[in-house]
Copies of this chain bind each other. A is one copy, B any other.
Amino acid sequence: MSEARARLLSTASGLFYAEGLHSVGIDRIIATAGVTRATLYRHFPGKDDLVVAYLTLADEAIRARVDAARSRDALPEDVIRTVARSIADDIRGPGFRGCAFLNAAAEYPDPAHPVHRAVLGHRQWFLAAITELFTDTGKPDPEPAGRHFAMLRDGAMAAGCLTDPEPICATFLRGVEGLLEYRSGLGPDDGA
């Protein structure tokens, strides 16, 4: 928890997210953080561990936001809406560069690699969390609904940094709303 370690992780996160994992070297990180090589290797065994720490940080931040939405809104539908709105805010926000996890997976395809596994872990949690929210709504077929939500999210985050984010956010939020609203008229056996 030393100050140098915090500065290191913070600047590394910024650089990794903005420019990519392989494009950012150790030299850039320590120079930007104003820290020595030895200090980095005191806190992190290697670059891979620094990347994993970066993803862990992002994972915790997102979990915290979902938890906050959970405790703020009473109805599970509203929690889902709040989560969707927070995703849209991210996409609209300055410096948005897509999903940190999808970007990481693109650079680390090997399923056995710690970085790739960190991505898988986060995505597994997210799908379970959003599916649970759909379950809480009491509507039929929460599982395909959760998958549908996650798919829209992935697509929105992937596209949001490549063109004008406004129409992407509009499409995403409308898709989520449709997923939420029109399912209420459905029976339990006609899919999603």
- A interface residues, Cβ below 8 angstroms from B: 18-20, 22-23, 97-99, 102-103, 105-109, 119-120, 123-124, 144, 147-148, 150-156, 158-159, 161-163, 167-168, 170-172, 174-175, 178, 182, 191-192
Count the copies: 2
Which residue of A97, A175, A182 has the most chain B CB atoms within 10 A of its CB atom? A175
Which of B103, B124, B152, B178 is close to A155, meaning CB atoms less than 8 Å apart? Answer: B152
In the complex, what distance in Å separates the CA atom of A152 from the CA atom of B174?
13
A38 to chain B, nearest CB (A): 27
Which of B23, B106, B109, B152 is close to A151, meaning CB atoms less than 8 Å apart? Answer: B152
Main secondary structure on chain A at its contact with chain B? helix
CB-based contact B18/A20 at 8 Å: no
Which of B19, B182, B192 is close to A109, meaning CB atoms less than 8 Å apart? Answer: B19
